[in-house]
Structure 1
Amino acid sequence: MPVLVIEEKCSGCGTCAEVCPVAAITVEGVAKVNEDCVECGTCVDECPNGALSLD
């Protein structure tokens, strides 16, 4: 399962997409994580809003 986006917390800033090592995130209003996600957790650690989770 890829990283979960908590849409209520996502501001669409794009930080997650910028730091994703496999380009598995796009931002169209809110972040969307695709099947290329390797669950490395980089986006979770870098999200300023706490909008991403590995749970």
Structure 2
Amino acid sequence: MPKQVKAHTFRHTFATQLLKNGTNIRNVQELLGHSYLKTTELYTHVIGSRFSHTTSPIDR
């Protein structure tokens, strides 16, 4: 059964990719309209050493 993709999935992917590509977290915070940095920091949970050498298929 296919998994449903909703707007939040795209938002999360967008924010994660920005952070993985080195965008300042404050800029991501502003783009997403978050009042608190802690909210934006939730998107950093997938960024770590296991993803450091991962390239997006779009970038290939």
Shorter-normalised TM range = under 0.3
Larger Rg, first or second structure (1 or 2): 2
Higher normalized contact order (CA 8 Å, seq sep 6+, divided by chain length): 1
Question: Normalising by the residue count of structure 2, what TM-score does the alignment of the two structures yield?
Answer: 0.26
* Higher helix fraction (1 or 2): 2
